[in-house]
Amino acid sequence: MFGHFGFSYVGFIYLLMLFIPNILWTKFKPVNYQNIVSNENKILLWLERVGQVAVSCVVLIFNDFNLKPFSLWSLWLIISFILMIIYEVFWIRYFKSKHTLKDFYGSLFGIPVPGALLPVLAFLLLGIYGKVIWLIISIIILGIGHIGIQWQHLKECEIENL
């Protein structure tokens, strides 16, 4: 439950799936994005940052996330990876759009704030698959901050009709 030290190539792949679109996003931020980020809750922002660092480290240093012989337990990894694929679909949709706040915060397949919810759920399931409590704790911290901030942004967009 505490994990075995060693490099996780699965964790590395997940981080690539997470970071590459986010790096591209810095060049294609939504129109009027700066108007809503100035009001971010500082506690949520702190939780998000701490969670980001913790998740990035934990997912790389425990080899419990790497592939194991197939079993029923492997379904956690399969569902987790499907969520990451849907996360990539979210980004493809966004990059093909006009880069509005609605494009960025709009639901995908009925999933609210998919840019926050999908990776958080995927990493949570990865933590369950690997049976690593440190990833589960880290992703809960990140999830509270990241989903909270994204939800706040979504509500602000709805109020201001952006």
Distance CA 160, CA 8 (A): 43
Query: For residue 110, what pLDDT is reported?
Result: 94
For residue 64, the 8-state DSSP code is G
Query: For residue 38, what pLDDT is reported?
Result: 80
Distance CA 34, CA 30 (A): 9
Q: Kindly give, in sequence order, each residue whose CB lies less than 8 Å from that of residue 66, ignoring residues fewer than 6 positions away.
A: 8, 9, 10
Question: Consecutive 10-residue runs of the chain (162 residues): their mean pLDDT?
Answer: 91 98 94 84 96 98 97 98 98 96 93 97 98 98 97 83 62
Query: For residue 160, what pLDDT is reported?
Result: 65
Query: For residue 158, what pLDDT is reported?
Result: 78
Query: For residue 2, what pLDDT is reported?
Result: 80
Longest distance between any two alpha carbons in the chain, whole Å: 51
Instruction: Pull the structure tokens for residue 54.
Output: 């913790």
Query: For residue 4, what pLDDT is reported?
Result: 93
The pTM for the full model equals 0.94
In DSSP terms, which residues pair with 108 in a beta bridge? 111
